[in-house]
Amino acid sequence: MSHQTGIKANDELKKFFAKCSDGRVRAIKIAIEEEKLSLANHKDVKNSWEKDFDKYVTSFVEENQPCYVLYRLDTKNSSGFEWLFISWSPDTAPIRQKMLYASTKATLKQEFGTSQIKEEIHGTILSDITLNGYIKYKKSAAAPAPLSMREEELQELKKD
């Protein structure tokens, strides 16, 4: 398990999380402010999740500032709507900020509800967290793992 900072969600964010189950909220930007996880911005559902994705997610991120984005998909599980957890940590951000966000990620997921998070992606450049970047991530995650040289040789022997 990774080290955690002890940073928790502030009361406003906890209350907002409780309201998110109604399906009206599409995206939530969470930042660390004054040693607390805080609601930085949110957007309501306008269209399908694919149509809203690039407009909402890219509007939340800042070039040199890490943040978290929770993005509601249109699918449901037994806990309600499923969410995509996006961890934005640009290469240009100060190292202390990147470390702070990396070590607080598990706490945020726990406070939001891990059963609602379907997938998680991490972005360091803007193209990582666009809809096209997410689709590429899903394709690479679904692809079979590369074979070692020994595994390739065994596979060739089985063909003969």
The full set of domain ranges for the chain reads 11-159
Which range is least confidently modeled, 11-25, 42-56, 100-114, 143-157?
Answer: 143-157
Q: What is the rounded distance in angstroms from the CA atom of residue 126 to the CA atom of residue 3?
A: 27
Can you tell me which residue has the tokens 């964010």?
13
**pLDDT tier for residue 3 given thresholds of 50, 70 and 90:** low
Identify the architecture of domain 11-159 in CATH: 3-Layer(aba) Sandwich (3.40)
Tokens matching residue 93: 């951000």
C-alpha angle 16-126-9 in degrees, rounded to nearest 5? 25
Q: Which residue has the higher pLDDT, 159 or 60?
A: 60
pLDDT at position 2 over 60: no
pLDDT for 125 equals 94
In angstroms, the Cα distances linking 23 to 18, 35, 95, 146 are: 11, 29, 36, 39
**pLDDT tier for residue 1 given thresholds of 50, 70 and 90:** very low
Over residues 16-20, the mean pLDDT reads 90
Which range is least confidently modeled, 4-8, 46-50, 69-73, 117-121?
Answer: 4-8
Over residues 38-55, the mean pLDDT reads 96
pLDDT at position 113 over 60: yes
